[in-house]
Structure 1
């Protein structure tokens, strides 16, 4: 193994590691019958998280890589909800009262496209089919342009505890280039409306690496965003993957910042956010010191799932809706991304699962190491041995070799760690422990 220069790490395309193994390595050997068995194995008091996917938007942002489609009519959304209700009831019957839901995440697409009455009906169905803890967290992804007073009231009524607002960038030229025009005044009004209604935590999502974006324009966006004093800030690198999402061809690649400019934007953004009193969490999140995510990071409880960094400790996550991914103790499973195929499978009283992966013992070891690198930027050899026994030795040998050959990965006593100045390279360092990465063709986004 030879050392990889820093400029190569910047330019490397690697997974985001919201799971391990990552989704490109899922296969059709995991079926609805497989997942039915996994659900049957859930224990009566087992903690569960739910993710519900709303695969529609009333406008298509050209930067987006989510599984969604644009619609100007509400009828397809209403038809989809009827299928989602059936899936909720099906999974609920399979659970038969087992498991306790501790967290619910509503994502998309644009969940706030739902009409207020439908939003409340959806949560009524969830409460009918699942045992939901009284203190369960409820997080909702919000497009501020969808919002009105009635939707704000509905979010409060369903018990929203955290709202995540997509901002991306406030610069008008950048907004036009990504088809996401959204004013600061609109965003501020929605955040004020949420807080007035008792939503206790607000986070904002920003992007770097966008067309026409510069350090100066990004700095202005950060200044405006932080003036709203969100509890959390996430700043992701724009993933230009037009081979995966054809609408991204609407973005002129000549207007995108190069690798060095992306690195400068990522570093500059982190500096500005930290100077405003936020603590860095992993590679792309920041939180106020009193926030629960900051507490989880301090206490070594930070985890990573398909929604990114979280303080949600639930090992079992059940995904509902097309393209959603579930995580069980036995493995991962993904629903079909096609809304049509999803509807047909649900109408046939079948789970909509089309692929997944059963975890091996080696998968669990490598997954734990990769998660700790992404969350804590390192791991203890003693902790690895304690958790996995003699099977950990192979990974420890790989870690020792990497520490000898990479200036970004070091040994500090019992701990293997990414160097303090190399945290932005965490995805590339984690990829060294990914045994699947070279086994199948899969195209990924840029590491930074």
Structure 2
């Protein structure tokens, strides 16, 4: 792992669109035929089954508000300076929690909580405190629960960071993206490096379990030279985890991106060079490559989970938490309960209207088939453990792996020749080099993707 044989040629070969596989099937396969009534039935089955006591829940709360627009953003957000809107939104979140406790009962155990957005720190300390009180009244948040929140550095100071810790948050993630002022101007997100460095120092003094940063390569006005300076500054920060995302310019899907000047975007060659620089910089700084676009220091829980084969993946990305049901709260949130996925209404109007009528705001979802479940097991094993043991899949799903996945195994031969995977009679193993292209390996087992080949809607896999 210290010196993976990654070449620009290999990176170019896999510079193609593909899913991130926070779920399988992916969210674009959800259908409106899955309704709120189906979701209620799924929750009822959980309440009546052994999972209610044996398996804790994970919670995701979507807080969509932002004060200003970042041009690269593809998230579901509402741009407003009217902070009073947060109070109304909290009232509707409370109604949604009440609907869940009506079906599940109060006090379902929760071991993982994540607040995303939007900008969760758009809410005041008092509003965040109210939200946490609502969650604790509805669910049983474990004393050692992993509680994380996404933080816009422009919205907090040392005092606010302490307030977050006092509320129970033990993991925070700073959206850095790039330290270069010219790049920041091009994407309408000005935040001086000194501000982030000061916040990082505060966070370390407070004692958060993990302090993470998000970076993006491929932004307008970025060059290999400017990004190299950002990488040096990140190395000085030494966050516990780093998420490195490739910018996907899809202005036809995401309206804010239409404000980006296409001529200012780096070309494919420069984008590949920036990715190569980042991989080399983080590995030489002793970060463990977790998979896809995530890195962690060796002592971080995520790196330890990978080393011990306990890595999992859900809609928030890689996780140390065991595979469990996820309840999504808030506009556009996605949940997974049992063998189903569900997604709330994507507009605030539709979300609130459903709750005003006393029903779950679920707008679409999917009930997984046996084939979906088997393929999900394979894809998640590849994405998290870096290997698939044929026997385990065969016993779990009563199938003969070489026969059931004959076409996929045939396609893997080319990747094996490239040194990305090893395939034998017992299973599939991702090599050190293959970890950087694990999405490409997983894509071979995606029946939906292989059927329609419509990949342009996804971000690029590197």
Other-structure match for 1:57: 66
What's the TM-score, normalizing by structure 1? 0.94
- CA separation of 1:294/1:425 partners in 2, compared to 1, >3 Å: closer, same or farther? same
Q: Which moved more, 1:81-90 or 1:289-298?
A: 81-90
Partner of 1:14: 18
Counterpart secondary structure, 1:242: coil
SS state at 2:353 partner: helix
CA distance in 2, matches of 1:380, 1:369: 9
Q: Alignment partner for residue 416 of structure 1, among 428, 446, 452?
A: 428
1:385 to 383, 394, 400: 394
Work out whether residues 402 and 409 of structure 2, in 8 Å CA contact, stay in contact via their aligned partners in 1: no
The range that moved more, 333-342 or 77-86, is: 77-86
135-144 or 379-388: which moved more? 379-388
CA distance in 2, matches of 1:384, 1:163: 36
SS at match of 1:134: strand
Q: What residue ranges of structure 1 are gaps of 5+ in the alignment?
A: none
Aligned to 1:117: 126
Deviates more, 1:144-153 or 1:54-63: 144-153
Shift of 1:439: 4.8
CA displacement 1:167-208 (0-9 Å, x = unmatched):
000011111111111111111222222233332210111111
Structure 1 position 281, deviation (Å): 0.4
> Residue in 1 aligned with 2:406?
397
Quote the Cα distance in structure 2 between the aligned partners of 1:102 and 1:144: 26
1:24 aligns with 2:24: no
**Aligned with 2:441: secondary structure?**
helix
Contact 1:381/1:396, CA 8 A, preserved across alignment: no
For residues 350-379 of structure 1, the C-alpha deviation after alignment (integer angstroms, 9 at most, x for no partner) is 111000110111101111211222223332
The residue number in structure 2 matching 1:444 is 458
1:425 aligns with 2:457: no
Paired residue for 2:359?
350
- Whole-angstrom CA distance in 2 between matches of 1:323 and 1:148: 29
Secondary structure (helix, strand or coil) at the match of 1:437 reads helix
How do 1:69-148 and structure 2 match up within 5 A? 69-97=78-106, 99-148=108-157
3-state SS of paired residue (1:369)? helix
Does 2:209 align with 1:197?
no
In structure 2, what is the equivalent of residue 361 of structure 1? Answer: 370
Paired residues in the alignment total 444
**Secondary structure in 2 matching 1:272:** helix
Query: Which residue does the alignment assign to 1:316?
Result: 325
Which secondary structure does the structure 1 equivalent of 2:70 belong to?
coil
Q: CA deviation at 1:114?
A: 0.5
Task: Please say if residues 444 and 450 of structure 2, whose CA atoms lie closer than 8 Å, have aligned partners that are also in contact.
Answer: no
Q: CA deviation at 1:395?
A: 4.4
Shift of the 348–376 alpha-carbon distance from structure 1 to 2, 3 Å rule, reads: same
Q: Structure 1 pair 366/388, CA: closer, same or farther in 2 (3 Å)?
A: same
Q: Distance in 1 between matches of 2:401 and 2:236?
A: 47
Unpaired segments ≥5 residues, structure 2: 1-8
Q: What is the alpha-carbon root mean square deviation over aligned residues?
A: 1.9
Tell me how far apart the structure 2 counterparts of residues 32 and 98 of structure 1 sit (CA, whole Å): 22
Question: In 2, are the aligned partners of 1:9 and 1:425 still within 8 Å (CA)?
Answer: no
Corresponding residue SS for 2:237:
coil
C-alpha deviation, 1:7, in angstroms:
7.0
Would the aligned equivalents of 2:11 and 2:272 in 1 still touch at CA under 8 Å? no
